[in-house]
Amino acid sequence: MVLAVKEINTFYGLSHILFGVSLEVRQSETVCILGRNGVGKTTTLRSIMGLAPPRSGSIKFKGEEIRGKQPFDIYRLGIGLVPEDRIIFPDLTVHENLEIAVKKGERRGSMEGWTIEKVQRLFPILKARDKQWGGTLSGGEQQMLTIARTLMGNPRLLLLDEPSEGLAPLVVKAIEEQILLLKKEGMTILLSEQNSNLALKISDRGYILEKGLVAWQGAVSELKGDPEIMKNYLGL
């Protein structure tokens, strides 16, 4: 088991956001967290990354308890977060944004360490924009750069927070294809996504959150075959 989250309770100040959330992610699996806005999807990823530490519960990564660790320690263990707000360095070039995140690669199962050349093969537009300032990129290009920069840290687990947020349909399709390529590479992925259609295309299993609780969990194939669940929780 790559990630095992058990009964976490997360608060923002006095506001109780996550109520005993549990989930699992296995090796080379893509798992999605679905639900309407404000149900706790982003908070779940932030809790795993240590940015919103749960007050109780357990988060184990590769069998090691990480609840209570600092975000930079969690990153060093092998978890990479692609945040919803696409934080890049606008005054650095695309190449410099990638170079600043370089981490010495190591062979991990079927995957090798990520290099600038390798992420440019995954995102060809980044090679074309190599010398362009980060702040001049389109929203879709910034999203690709954020994912690529996270990959430079050679994560064993990639957390994607709303990767299609605010992007045009053609760009969303490109992101979908690139995530599928990551799956073929053997990457283990946990994503939160408001765009249920995208998430269901690329995921193996899913969890639906409702008011900070896990309302449903199972294989994506099961979810697609249950129109009542799709309508009640996802509005599809």
Query: Taking the domains of the chain in order of start, what are their residue ranges?
Result: 3-234
Q: What is the pLDDT of residues 184-206, one digit of tens each?
A: 999 999 999 999 999 999 999 99
Q: Are strands 188-192 and 30-34 parallel, antiparallel or unpaired?
A: parallel
Q: What is the pLDDT of residues 2-44, one digit of tens each?
A: 999 999 999 999 999 999 999 999 999 999 999 999 999 999 9
Q: Would the pTM count as exceeding 0.85? A: yes
Statement: residue 105 has pLDDT above 80: no
Question: What are the residues whose beta carbons fall under 8 Å from the beta carbon of 196, sequence distance 6 or more?
Answer: 34, 230, 234, 236
Q: What CATH number should be reported for the domain whose range is 3-234?
A: 3.40.50.300
Q: What is the pLDDT of residues 136-156, one digit of tens each?
A: 999 999 999 999 999 999 999
Banded model confidence at residue 164, pLDDT cuts 50, 70, 90: very high
